Amino acid sequence: MSRALRWYDYITINIFFFALTVLSQTNGLVFPLLIQQFVGEEVKGTYLGRLRLWTLMIALLWQALMGMLSDRSTSRFGRRRPFIFAGTLGMTVTVVLVGLSAGMAGLAGFTFLFVIALLQSVAANTAHGAQQGLIPDLVPSEKRGRFSAVKAVLEVPIPLLLVSFTIARFIAAGSLWVALFLAIGVLLAAMLLTMLAPEQRLAQASPGVDWAPIARLAAMTALFTAMILGMGALVGQAGRLLAGDAGPAVILGVTGLSGLIAIVLTVAAGVWLSVRISVGAAAARANPSFTWWVINRLAFLVGTTNLSTFAVYFLQARLGLVREQAAGPAAQLMAVIGVFILVSALPSGWLGDRFGHRLLVGIAGLLAALGVVIVLLSPSLMVIYIGGGFIGIATGLFFTANWALGTELVPRGEAGRYLGISNLAGAGAGAVGAYIGGPIADFVTARLPNLPGAGYILLFGLYGLMFLVSILALRHVRLPDTQPAASWRLFKEFPGG
């Protein structure tokens, strides 16, 4: 840094996180509606799950690669800014193409949208991978907490509120192009502000790229993808085995149980194998609590991520809304969740230091499960918002406490290597829950037409159970100075972490 940080650097260094969330939330409203238009009601969940799987697996690989390449960039415009600039241009083009896809129909329309979504994932993660390096590059350690706090505010609640009160309303009114141009405007404005970040050219070239970590990440991603595809196929087979005259209770029970088993096995086995690929079998055996921490994180995020993914379809089914009518309530629900994330995230650091991060992570799982129960209780939008508030509080507690817990489990001097595996939870959560869960909702909806919304009620119930699974995984997380629990009482040893 050639100068001291100034007040507006808090904005220029962090503003692009705001734009990325605006685009993500806009896609969360637009993509489900377009897929519904292209493939119809019967298989919309299945096709949305396919799109989510492949875009997220690309994100998992590409973001890490772009982060590593930007580390070594010697461009005269800075290390990170050229990647952010190029990624923004790519996102702008793909958003326009998403709008053009709205005039298409059938599988041709879905195929076009699918390809555009993959390209958009590449563009977004080109920028995102570089953007994450700005705070470590430019901010001294004693100020990173303040910059990270600004990042948290810009990344979650503010974009959720903006989308809810602007973009979502245009989508609900059928003005898709206005909504998309607003998103493009946010992207371009944020990119231009980011170009003002006080970044300088790297003084000398860094060592050559070490491809070994990327090779391990590629192997981990391929393995995880194969497991998701395999479990999805098994769940589909379980549904086909149900007799034609099976009653509603049998259909719901068999489908729900097979889906839950498939998701839990994918999470547990996928993490177990991935950790061994990434850090080595010996290191994984020496620190089993780290593996259980990643399982806890992935199980919780399967719930939160996919509740958002299928919010439009759930509200359509639960409230009897027609297509775009669900966009407004879905965005408002996300806004409620975002506000409560902010409210709970602010004091959660102090609470974790006072009562133990492990205790807070367990409480977050219980609160999130309670929130899902409330959401499912009544086809009333106000009740759904109340449940969303509980989920938001839980998510705010979880993000802070779970990450702090993870930093206590990694070996000293290897935090980057170990915590990088947490990207598996971030991207993997959406892939697991959507690819396996979407077909479950479609199957139940088709088999039980006399029970409106049954498919998505069952699906949201499964996501709620994943919060409880995250608590079970947490019981195996032991800090270096603790001993294994002798009892299955959930919170016996939680206080103090």
Q: Mind listing the pLDDT tens digit for each residue in 361-383?
A: 999 999 999 999 999 988 889 99
Cα torsion through 158, 159, 165, 169, rounded to 10: -170
What is the second-level CATH architecture of the domain 210-497?
Answer: Up-down Bundle (1.20)
In terms of Cα–Cα distance, which of 312, 299, 235 is closest to 269?
299
Confidence of residue 493 (pLDDT cuts 50, 70, 90): very low
* Mean pLDDT on 195-200: 88
* Mean pLDDT on 110-136: 92
Tokens describing residue 337: 């969740």
d(C-alpha 21, C-alpha 157), whole Å: 10
**H/E run at residue 64:** helix 44-71
**pLDDT at residue number 216:** 80
CB atoms within 10 A of CB 364: 29
* Spacing of C-alpha 443 from chain mean position: 25
Tokens describing residue 155: 């990344």
Average pLDDT of the chain, as a whole number: 85
**pLDDT at residue number 496:** 40
Q: The tokens 């629990």 sit on which residue? A: 485
d(C-alpha 284, C-alpha 367), whole Å: 31
* Mean pLDDT on 420-438: 81
Choice among 230-239, 408-417, 481-490 with the minimum mean pLDDT: 481-490
Choice among 115-129, 276-290, 399-413 with the minimum mean pLDDT: 399-413
Query: Contact, 410 vs 419, CB < 8 A?
Result: yes
**pLDDT at residue number 337:** 87
pLDDT > 60? residue 495: no
Confidence of residue 102 (pLDDT cuts 50, 70, 90): very high
pLDDT > 70? residue 201: yes
Confidence of residue 60 (pLDDT cuts 50, 70, 90): confident
Residue type, position 363, single letter: I
The alpha-carbon radius of gyration of the chain (Å, integer) is 22
* Mean pLDDT on 57-68: 86
**pLDDT at residue number 208:** 66
**pLDDT at residue number 26:** 94
d(C-alpha 302, C-alpha 161), whole Å: 23
Domain extents in the chain: 1-197, 210-497
Confidence of residue 257 (pLDDT cuts 50, 70, 90): very high
pLDDT > 60? residue 418: yes
Tokens describing residue 203: 């003084």
Q: The tokens 């009892």 sit on which residue? A: 487
pLDDT > 80? residue 95: yes
CB atoms within 10 A of CB 322: 7
Cα torsion through 474, 340, 21, 184, rounded to 10: 170
pLDDT > 70? residue 209: no
* Mean pLDDT on 166-182: 92
pLDDT > 90? residue 37: yes
For residue 103, what is the DSSP state? T
Same fold, 1-197 and 210-497: yes
**pLDDT at residue number 413:** 56
Confidence of residue 164 (pLDDT cuts 50, 70, 90): confident
- Quote the pTM value: 0.85
CATH topology of domain 1-197: Growth Hormone; Chain: A; (1.20.1250)
d(C-alpha 18, C-alpha 12), whole Å: 11
* Mean pLDDT on 393-415: 78
Contacts of 367 (CB under 8 A, 6+ apart): 390, 391, 393, 394, 397
Query: Contact, 29 vs 169, CB < 8 A?
Result: no
* Mean pLDDT on 442-453: 87
Confidence of residue 417 (pLDDT cuts 50, 70, 90): low
pLDDT tens per residue, range 322-342: 888 888 888 888 888 888 888
pLDDT > 50? residue 77: yes
**pLDDT at residue number 347:** 81
Return the ∠ at Cα 307 (arms to 305 and 313), rounded to 5°.
Answer: 130
Choice among 22-26, 88-92, 320-324, 466-470 with the minimum mean pLDDT: 320-324
pLDDT tens per residue, range 215-237: 887 888 888 889 899 998 888 88
pLDDT > 80? residue 410: no
Choice among 167-176, 220-229, 249-258, 483-492 with the minimum mean pLDDT: 483-492
* Higher-pLDDT residue of 369, 203: 369
**pLDDT at residue number 478:** 85
pLDDT tens per residue, range 472-487: 999 998 876 543 333 3
